[in-house]
Amino acid sequence: MTATAHSRELLKIAVAAAESKAGENLIALDVSNPLPLADIFFIVTGRSERNVVAIAGEIEDQLIEAGHKPLRREGRVAGRWVLVDFGDLVVHVFHEEEREYYALERLWKDCPVIPLELTSGSSAAAVAATDNAEAPEVGEDSEVSEKSEIND
């Protein structure tokens, strides 16, 4: 199984939004084979908490503007790892330190990398992972609903 055309269209919007807010080390992984609930993990790095929140916010805004509603968002308050779930596309925006520590590219290393059309000098290469990466703690779960506020 491979990522659908719909999920690739979501990815294209997310990539442009991430680049517009100086997102770094952009990488997309096709997780459709091992993970039946999503097609693509899009991973981006921000240099500061403010940058992480700005990148995640811009991706969310652009996808909403294109008619795609988020199902869930986590981590926006802390600004260290923001996850925005759009169903077929799950966006992970990391602070540099968390990106290296959690090393999602290493955890999902068997999944194919989806080539990205980058307009800036952003690197699509994965950040080197540490050998002592552990699973993140559960917390800050929030579902986005019709009545809920999008900003946490």
pTM attached to this predicted model: 0.78
Superfamily of the domain at 5-114: Beta Polymerase, domain 2 (3.30.460.10)
Instruction: Show me where the domains of the chain are located.
Output: 5-114
Q: How many other C-beta atoms are found inside a 10 Å radius of the C-beta of residue 71?
A: 13
Can you read off the two tokens belonging to residue 16?
A: 């442009």
SS (H, E, C) the chain: CCCCHHHHHHHHHHHHHHHHCCCEEEEEEECCCCCCCCCEEEEEEECCHHHHHHHHHHHHHHHHHCCCCCCEEECCCCCCEEEEECCCEEEEEEEHHHHHHHCHHHHCCCCCEECCCCCCCCCCCCCCCCCCCCCCCCCCCCECCCCCCCCC
Token pair 């999602």: residue: 104
pLDDT values of the chain reduced to their tens digit, one per residue, 152 residues: 688 899 999 999 999 999 999 999 999 999 998 988 899 999 999 999 999 999 999 999 999 999 999 999 999 899 999 999 999 999 999 999 999 999 999 999 999 999 998 876 544 333 322 223 333 333 344 444 333 334 44
Residue-wise pLDDT tens digits, 124-145: 333 322 223 333 333 344 444 3
Q: State residue 150 phi and psi, 5-degree precision.
A: -70, -35
Q: What local confidence, expressed as pLDDT, does residue 121 receive?
A: 53
